[in-house]
Amino acid sequence: MPYTIFAYNCIMNRITINILFLFLVACAPSQKNSETLVNGRNIITRNAMVVSAHPQASYIGASILARGGNAVDAAVATELALAVCYPEAGNLGGGGFMVIRKADGKSFVIDYREKAPGSASRDMFIDGDGNVPEGVSTDTHLASGVPGTPDGMITANSRHGRLPFRDVIQPAIDLAKNGFRITAIQASDLNSNRENFINRNSVNTAFVKDGPWKEGDLLVQEDLARTLERIRDNGREGFYSGVTALLIEEEMKRGNGVISRQDLLTYSASEREPLTSAYRGYRIITVPPPSGGGVILIQLLKMTEQYNFGEWGFNSYQAIHLIAEAERRAFADRAEHLGDPDFMNVRVSQLLDTGYLRSRMSTFDPERATSSADILPGAPGAYSSEQTTHYSVVDKDGNAVSATTTLNGTFGSSIVVQGAGFLLNNQMDDFSVKPGLPNMYGLAGGEINAVSSGKKMLSSMTPVIVEKDGKLFFVAGSPGGSTIPTTVYQIITNVIDYGMGIQESVDAGRFHHQWLPDMITFEKSRIDNTASAALREMGHVLRERSSIGRVSAIMIRADGTIEGGADKRGDNTSCGF
Ligand code: DON
């Protein structure tokens, strides 16, 4: 089928990103495509699309689609490419969640979240005086959970892909070997993290060069290419045993880390039942625990569904007040009631019970902010910066993938496995390392999310797929730590309650409340002064932030064409045909 480009809403943006793209793909692995790919922001195609945080990864994913791969093949190729060209968050050493919706309407979740090592224990981050020394759960070898991404990608490909794994991993190998041109944002990310790379690694890494990085510099990762080749040639054994496992073991010894050979051998990704719910007649498909993101998202949708806030005006003070109050209540529940369901009793159906959620909103005062001190976690059952990355894929048959993956902090712990070229995550900080003490996103949690051997740390990642009339409607997700579920909630309500297209929904201003600290953070210059003054008047504390989230989304429009929603807050790019 010939490719078609329909509309461009933001010509300047498109021109800028296309110049950047042409520059960046100049050394992309050569692909024999039967389709010509279009890319940028504000693009609409007829057949298929990938939106991710980096132009190279979107290009690689879309190339796989053009060669006849399905959405899962493209997702795996995109994620492995992100592990090379977006080391801030793309990874082999991290983990994530993938939602798959097949064209026949069946949906699946692949949980490849990291696990605590076997020797991890509840008080491993607490010293003899009962304090938590700063940085141990974020900046050291102990910060790393057992990586899940390699097995997650192999599982997704073997159960749901169409192309052989070696075909979907090869573009990432070529990218690591030949190098890629970094963007201006990446030059700044690498320069700001320079000291961490130097201080936390005993040898030089690919991420540090003699002088400062500049936009357009070539980043080559030979060790990473060899690790990817071992995975290509040996499957999961290429990472979880053999040479790579040995290199991880040696890295752990060097830095007093605790991930063992046995931890690697026994890690496996799992398939879980998706979490689903209705919202104003649409069907929401998202992730269950050990991500709390899906539960928070559905709680927010259900708590606010009884109000027609679409008529109150977009980002009006009344709508922001309502949503912030729902967020306050949802995040209070998160702290007390969400953790790894393989270890703890997580009462998902009670937390999502409509009667329970209505009762949570019974203290909502349309005129005044409630104080978070007065909002305790509920009793469900009584009623019948950071860097992560999200990509979205839709193929020409209507299969879709929504996946969020992370190392936790930007570049994870900044520790590179010597000889293997990939960064270790610092996901252990997502546990409540000392119950009650807030983590790096200010999220407090209780015993339910305490550290335990082999347990998964609670996540906020919220990949989502939305159906309309039983058909695929849109795919979305975002990074942003605690702000992920509230960002995804706003993408959904922007479309459903405010009638926005997907790029418009992604561009729109965002805000966030997470119970504690008791404040609404909002994007500077995206919420008008009258609304912020009215919210302060109602008793809310407001704090400006330069940006919240970096969404990658795709929508199927009424005429069947496909619209990309690529966030200009980052280098996010849509690519399709
Ligand atoms: O799993 C989580 O919820 C966090 N580790 C995500 C971190 C994140 O999104 C950082 N990005 N901005």
Residue nearest to atom 10 of ligand 1 (CA): 387
User: What is the pLDDT at residue 385?
Assistant: 63
What's the confidence (pLDDT) of residue 13? 39
Ligand 1 pocket check for 94: Cβ under 6 Å: no
Q: Which residue has the tokens 């992604």?
A: 506
- Residues 6 or more apart in contact with residue 425 via CB below 8 angstroms: 91, 93, 94, 95, 114, 143, 144, 145, 147, 406, 407, 408, 412, 413
Residue 100 near residue 399, CB atoms below 8 Å: yes
| Cα(399)–Cα(102) distance, integer angstroms | 4
Q: State the pTM of this model.
A: 0.94
State the residue for tokens 């609409």: 44
pLDDT given at position 376: 87
84, 221 contact by CB (below 8 A): yes
Residue 369 Cα, ligand 1 centroid: separation in angstroms?
28
- Cα(488) to ligand 1 centroid in Å equals 13
Query: 352 and 536 in contact (C-beta within 8 Å)?
Result: no
Residue tagged active-site, from 388, 406, 462, 573: 388
Q: For ligand 1, atom 1, name the residue with the nearest CA.
A: 459
CA 435–ligand 1 middle distance (angstroms): 19
Confirm or reject: Cβ of 91 under 6 Å from ligand 1.
no
Q: What is the helix (H) or strand (E) element at residue 131, kind and residue range?
A: none
**pLDDT for residue 381:** 67
Is 462 known to be catalytic? no
Ligand 1 centre distance from Cα of residue 102 (Å): 27
Out of 185, 408, 424, 430, mutate this one to test ligand 1's pocket (max ligand atoms within 8 Å of CB): namely 408
Neighbours of 96 (CB within 10 A): 33
Our answer on whether the CB atom of 450 is closer than 6 Å to any ligand 1 atom is no
Q: Is the CB of 480 under 6 A from ligand 1?
A: yes
Q: Whose CA is nearest to atom 9 of ligand 1?
A: 481
| Closest residue by Cα to residue 389 from 573, 562, 205 | 573
- The Å distance, Cα 145 to ligand 1 centre, comes to 14
End-to-end CA separation in angstroms for the chain: 9
Q: Which residue blocks in 211-351 are alpha helix, DSSP H? A: 222-234, 237-240, 242-254, 261-266, 293-304, 317-337, 348-351
Q: What is residue 19's predicted lDDT score, i.e. its pLDDT? A: 43
Which residues of the chain are modeled with pLDDT < 70?
1-34, 381-386
